[in-house]
C-alpha cells in the first residue's frame, strides 16, 4: 500500500515531519515494515530506525509512505506518481500560495485524499482555509510549535521529538492510519 504525503507546489509545510510520524504510527499499528520514500533530490538529515530510500522502489511487504517534494503543475512524473497512490494526505499551512497550489493539483488528487493536515497554525485556524481544505477531506489542525523546528534542525527523528505539535500530529496520524487500514 502506498500512502502519499504532499502539499503540491509549496515547500516548508511539514510534509517530511508528518511522513516520519505517520510511518512510526503505521509501524506501531501493523508491526510491518514501513518504507519512507524520499522523492526529493535532497537527502534527509535525520537519524531514524525506519527504512528510508531515495528512489522509488518496488517493495514486497509492508507499506510505503511517499514524501513528495514541492512540484509544479507541469511536472508529469510527480502527477503520475500521485495517481499511483492508494491514499493521499495533504499537508498544508494557512497560506494563500499553498491553497492555490493544492487547488491547481486538485483534479489529480481528488477522490484519493484521506485527510488534510493544516500545519503550523498560530491561534485559531482561519475559517477560509478550513472550508477550502474540507472540500478535499477531513481536516486536522496542528498548532505551531517552535520546539519542533529546533529538533528538525538538529536531525532528530520527528517521532522522537517532545513537542505539542508532534503530539497533535501523532493524534492525526493515528486517526488517519485507522481510516486507511479499515476494510473498505
Render pLDDT for 46-68 as a digit per residue (tens, 0 to 9).
Answer: 767 677 766 666 666 778 999 99
Q: What is the pLDDT of residue 42?
A: 75
- Beta strand ranges found along the chain (DSSP E): 2-6, 34-38, 51-53, 63-67, 87-92, 113-121, 138-143
pLDDT band at residue 74 under the 50/70/90 scheme? confident
pLDDT at residue 184 in the model: 66
Tell me what the mean pLDDT of segment 70-92 comes to: 88
State how many domains the chain has. 1
Q: Which of 89, 90, 69, 109 is nearest to 177 (CA)?
A: 89
Of 78-87, 161-170, 171-180, minimum mean pLDDT range? 161-170
The more confidently predicted of residues 52 and 15 is 15
All three cell numbers of 79, joined, read 502527477
At 98-149, the pLDDT tens digits run 888 888 888 788 778 889 998 888 888 889 999 999 988 899 998 887 766 6
User: What CATH number corresponds to the domain at position 138?
Assistant: 3.40.50.300
Query: Residue 16 pLDDT more than 70?
Result: yes
Question: How far is the C-alpha of 169 from the C-alpha of 184, rounded, in Å?
Answer: 24
Name the average pLDDT for the chain. 83
- The parent domain of residue 144 ranges over 2-181
User: If you average pLDDT over residues 150-162, what whole number do you get?
Assistant: 65
Looking at residue 180, its pLDDT comes to 92
What pLDDT does 177 receive?
94
Amino acid at each position: 500500500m502506498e500512502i502519499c504525503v504532499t502539499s503540491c507546489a509549496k515547500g516548508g509545510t511539514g510534509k517530511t515531519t508528518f511522513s516520519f510520524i505517520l510511518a512510526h504510527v503505521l509501524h506501531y499499528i501493523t508491526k510491518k515494515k514501513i518504507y519512507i520514500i524520499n522523492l526529493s533530490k535532497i537527502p534527509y538529515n535525520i537519524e531514524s530506525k525506519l527504512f528510508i530510500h531515495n528512489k522509488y522502489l518496488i517493495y514486497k511487504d509492508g507499506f510505503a509512505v511517499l514524501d513528495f517534494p514541492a512540484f509544479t503543475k507541469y511536472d508529469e512524473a510527480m502527477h503520475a506518481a500521485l495517481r499511483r497512490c492508494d491514499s493521499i494526505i495533504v499537508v498544508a499551512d494557512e497560506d494563500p500560495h499553498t491553497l492555490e497550489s493544492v487547488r491547481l493539483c486538485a483534479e489529480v488528487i481528488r477522490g484519493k485524499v484521506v485527510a488534510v493536515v493544516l500545519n503550523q497554525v498560530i491561534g485559531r485556524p482561519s475559517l477560509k482555509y478550513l472550508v477550502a481544505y474540507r472540500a478535499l477531506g477531513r481536516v486536522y489542525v496542528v498548532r505551531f510549535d517552535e520546539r519542533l523546528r529546533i529538533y528538525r534542525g538538529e536531525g532528530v527523528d520527528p517521532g522522537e521529538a517532545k513537542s505539542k505539535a508532534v503530539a497533535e500530529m501523532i493524534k492525526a496520524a493515528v486517526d488517519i492510519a485507522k481510516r486507511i487500514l479499515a476494510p473498505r
